[in-house]
């Protein structure tokens, strides 16, 4: 209860990338029956704020400014059921000056995600 589909939160085809965004392209092969938009959104969510737990403090902090955005999904020419998912991550999502933090966030545990048959960071 209260759980939204990834597509409703992380798939935003109207999103226009900013100069401050970190851009990534993933080659995804969804599991049979999973739409590419849902797969791209799931990758985006799991590699940004989708697995964050809400922690109550003195003030509420919105995650909207930290969420990655799956803004474009294109079929791979000549490849059946493969898509390139373009993702924009806000610069503030990552620790400044830490490439390790950035790669851990982007490629961390998303490669074992069950909605995917295959995934590759391009």
Give DSSP secondary structure letters for the chain: --PPPHHHHHB-TT----TTEEEEEEEEEEPTT--HHHHHHHHHHHTTTTTPPP---SS---SGGG--EEEEEEEPTT-TT-EEEEEEEEGGGS-TT-HHHHHHHHHTTGGG-TTEEEEEE-
Tens digit of each residue's pLDDT (9 = 90 or more) over 94-110: 677 777 767 777 777 67
Q: Is residue 29 part of a domain?
A: yes
Structural domains in the chain (count): 1
Q: Is residue 56 part of a domain?
A: no
Q: Is residue 89 part of a domain?
A: yes
The model's confidence at residue 11, banded by pLDDT at 50, 70 and 90, is confident
Q: Is residue 43 part of a domain?
A: yes
Q: Is residue 1 part of a domain?
A: no
What pTM was estimated for this model as a whole?
Answer: 0.77
Q: Is residue 95 part of a domain?
A: yes
In terms of residue numbers, what domain contains 37? 6-51+61-121
Tens digit of each residue's pLDDT (9 = 90 or more) over 19-32: 998 898 999 999 89
Residues with Cβ < 8 Å from 16, sequence gap 6 or more?
71
Q: Which two tokens stand for residue 26?
A: 């993933």
Residue 96 maps to which CATH number? Answer: 3.30.70.150
Q: Which two tokens stand for residue 84?
A: 């390139």
Q: Is residue 22 part of a domain?
A: yes
């Amino acid at each position: 209860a209260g759980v939204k589909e990834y597509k409703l939160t992380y798939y935003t085809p109207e999103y226009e990338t900013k100069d401050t965004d970190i851009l990534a392209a993933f080659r995804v092969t969804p599991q049979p029956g999973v739409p590419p938009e849902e797969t791209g959104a799931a990758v985006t969510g799991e590699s940004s704020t989708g697995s964050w737990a809400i922690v109550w403090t003195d003030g509420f902090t919105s995650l909207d400014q930290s969420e990655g955005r799956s803004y474009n999904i294109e079929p791979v020419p000549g490849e059946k059921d493969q898509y390139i998912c373009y993702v924009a991550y806000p610069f503030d999502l990552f620790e400044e000056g830490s490439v390790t933090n950035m790669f851990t966030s982007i490629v961390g545990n998303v490669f074992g995600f069950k909605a995917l048959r295959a995934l590759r960071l391009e």
